């Protein structure tokens, strides 16, 4: 049932300090004509922060499906997310958050400026 979704990262700050917790929102839109019940089939998600989606180890977890409502067709639900930004980014002054659902081709990413740890 999750294959008919599109994913967008929202509410991402334009910059973050290395070592800080980056908080953002993921919007999952059910673009199919069928409802999705997150409490029946709860997918894993993968997110990482780095130069590319392959540059950093991914955090893997389950969506907070217990708090999610059944999702009718053509509606959007939002999930709060957080990931710790590494202290050492190898001299990069930017990085990107990458996010995707298990078994879903659609993914989302957003570039963020990284300021040195004070």
pLDDT along the chain (118 residues), means of 10: 91 93 96 93 91 71 91 95 86 86 91 88
- Predicted pLDDT at 55: 58
Q: What contacts 13, CB < 8 A, 6 or more positions away? A: 22, 24, 112
DSSP letters along the chain, please?
-GGGEEEEEES--SEEETTSEEEEEEEEEE-SSS-B-TTTS--EEEEEEESSTTTSPPEEEE--GGGPPPB-TT-EEEEEEEEEPPS--TT-SEEEEEEEETT-S-EEEEEEEEEPP-
pTM of the model: 0.88
- Predicted pLDDT at 20: 93
- Predicted pLDDT at 90: 72
- Predicted pLDDT at 15: 93
């Amino acid at each position: 049932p999750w294959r008919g979704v599109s994913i967008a990262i929202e509410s991402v700050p334009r910059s973050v300090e290395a070592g800080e917790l980056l908080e953002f929102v993921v919007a999952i839109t059910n673009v199919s004509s069928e409802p999705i019940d997150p409490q029946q089939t709860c997918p894993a998600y993968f997110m990482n922060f780095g130069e590319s989606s392959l540059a950093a180890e991914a955090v893997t977890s389950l969506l907070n499906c217990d708090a999610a409502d059944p999702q009718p067709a053509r509606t959007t639900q939002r999930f709060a997310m957080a990931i710790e930004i590494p202290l050492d980014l190898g001299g990069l002054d930017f990085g990107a958050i990458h996010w995707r659902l298990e078994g879903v081709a659609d993914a989302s990413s957003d570039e963020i400026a990284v300021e040195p740890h004070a």
